[in-house]
Amino acid sequence: MGTTIQHSRVQQLLEAYFGQFEPELINKLAEHCIIRDFEADQQLMRPGQYFKSTMLIVEGAVKIYREDQDGNEFFMYQLGAGDACALSMICATRNEQSQISAKALEPSKALLVPIALMDELMTGYKTWYYFVLETYRSRFEELLEVVDNIAFKSMDERIEFYLKNQRKLSHSDELALTHQQIATDMNSSREVVSRLLKKMEQRGMVRLGRNTITVLF
Amino acid sequence: MGTTIQHSRVQQLLEAYFGQFEPELINKLAEHCIIRDFEADQQLMRPGQYFKSTMLIVEGAVKIYREDQDGNEFFMYQLGAGDACALSMICATRNEQSQISAKALEPSKALLVPIALMDELMTGYKTWYYFVLETYRSRFEELLEVVDNIAFKSMDERIEFYLKNQRKLSHSDELALTHQQIATDMNSSREVVSRLLKKMEQRGMVRLGRNTITVLF
DNA sequence: CCTGCTGTGTAACATTTGTCACAAACTTGC
DNA sequence: GCAAGTTTGTGACAAATGTTACACAGCAGG
């Protein structure tokens, strides 16, 4: 594939999803970014990995989660087109190991920005530095919300929050989820989730079907 | 107090605790920072507050915690001299409301950097932008550790982690803590903490006294 | 030394969450 | 339409945590 083709494709994507960037920044990025595709279920990051670039998501959905030694998972938040992976920025700038996992939930595309560019971008382009700070800020806030949930709330409230969140992410009241998936994301067990969902159905908050949960609140 | 006096005092503090800053940055900051003192137990930040400046701690210890509607607390991490409050940076840059609480654990001093300076500092001084990113990174990591603890670990493991952390912060194996304080920080109840501490004492991990816990591991 | 306050110990019980076991419902491929 | 796999429902029980209630120990001030 010719470099010019790739170059203009990147430019298009940047303009579409990162319209807040000043034109010179877009040009700069288009010169140096490459596009990377991920299949559904493919891992974008795994604990212990080093980064040589920062990722800007331009298509698909990426789940960011925590994994412990025993392989237990815990869902933290989700990224879509227009989002950047804050962790990859942090780790990239510091050349540190990542301690989190990321997985594509559907076929996804990301732009890879070489970390060698970071200094120049941060000091040279105000919209970039705003973008980076804003990325941190919003991930931090999301993480704080996660802490709130597990620190202060009971399982049923957490499920409620989870469903609301999923509804927002999928733009639909019909969620294609199994009880097991929810249990995995919340580091709980399937039976507990089933039990509580059943109670919520009795209270008229959801309608349950095989592979679907309809949110009614 | 003469401005020159204040100015040179700020400069001293910056050199002492933020020695990584380049000299021109220190001068710049010294010109515009003011010193603010906090008494023990005084609140530095409360939910819903707006920031007009970023805080650099130069003396004392500041506890950063989360509070819910019912007044329950949950300890997140602690700052000391040389640390910056990441949250005040985030909220300051975005002119957003803070959603966390900060309290001085002992008489403390902070330098207040006006947010109006942020743009200039970020783009003009590489050590500043490194510092800001590193501040985010380390707070983020700490927050991840917090998430791990409450998501994956049981109460006794969490107490163990808490005590290790306190030991590190106080540079001593003798911790001046009541069971109630620990319970508050972990959003649990005093009885549970007493019970588990007693078990740990039986296993030889700690020695318990009134107002003191001696860590033996 | 008595009084009151704060901190700790502990038993009994309630509630929440996790685990095990198994059945039933639904889905898919042949 | 049958077999095999996946998903859900549910009861019984275990374990962890939270709650209530109360005794008592240590400390401070008069």
Output the six-digit token pair for A4.
Answer: 């010019």
Rounded Cα gap, residues A198 and B60, in angstroms:
51
Phi, psi of B48 (to 5 degrees): 90, -5
- Cβ–Cβ gap B148/A66 under 8 Å: yes
pTM of the model: 0.91
Work out the angle at residue A123's Cα, subtended by the Cα atoms of residues A121 and A129, and round it to the nearest 5 degrees.
65
**CA dihedral over B39, B42, B44, B50, signed as positive or negative:** negative
DSSP state at residue A50: -
Output the six-digit token pair for B16.
Answer: 């002492």
Nearest chain B CA: its distance from A115 CA (Å): 13
What are the residues facing B34 on neighbouring strands?
B112
Query: How many secondary structure helices (H) and strands (E) does chain B include?
Result: 8, 10
Q: What is the pLDDT of residue B206?
A: 96
CB atoms under 10 Å from CB of B212, counted, come to 13
Q: Which residues of chain A have pLDDT under 70?
A: 1-4, 90-98
Measured torsion, CA atoms of residues A49, B140, B130, A44, in degrees rounded to the nearest 10: 30
CB atoms under 10 Å from CB of B30, counted, come to 19
Alpha helices for B67-125 (secondary structure H): 86-94, 118-124
Using a CB-CB distance cutoff of 8 angstroms, which residues of chain A are in contact with residue B133?
90, 93-94, 132
Task: Name residue B105's amino acid.
Answer: L
Q: What is the pLDDT along chain B (217 residues), one digit of tens a residue?
A: 556 677 889 999 999 999 999 999 999 999 999 999 999 999 998 887 877 889 999 999 999 999 988 889 999 999 999 999 887 776 655 555 557 899 999 999 999 999 889 889 988 898 998 899 889 888 988 999 999 999 999 999 999 999 999 999 999 999 999 999 999 999 999 999 999 999 999 999 999 999 999 999 8
CB atoms under 10 Å from CB of B139, counted, come to 24
Rounded Cα gap, residues B111 and B59, in angstroms:
10
What are the residues facing A34 on neighbouring strands?
A112
Strand C bases, protein C-beta under 7 A: 6-12, 16-21, 26-27
Q: Say which residues have a Cβ less than 8 Å from residue B160's Cβ, sequence separation at least 6.
A: B200, B205, B217
Residue B209: which nucleotide is closest by CA–C1'? Answer: C8
Q: Which residue is nearest to nucleotide C17 (CA to C1')?
A: A192
Domain boundaries, given as residue ranges, for chain B: 2-150, 154-215
Class of the CATH-defined domain A154-215: mainly alpha
Using a CB-CB distance cutoff of 8 angstroms, which residues of chain B are in contact with residue A86?
140
- By C-alpha distance, the chain B residue nearest A86 is B137
SS3 content of chain B, % helix, strand, coil (to 5): 50, 25, 25
- By C-alpha distance, the chain B residue nearest A186 is B151
Residue B103 (CA) to nucleotide D26 (C1'), in angstroms, measures 29
Using a CB-CB distance cutoff of 8 angstroms, which residues of chain A are in contact with residue B54?
none
Candidates 2.60.120.10, 3.40.50.300, 3.10.129.10, 3.40.50.10490; CATH matching B2-150: 2.60.120.10
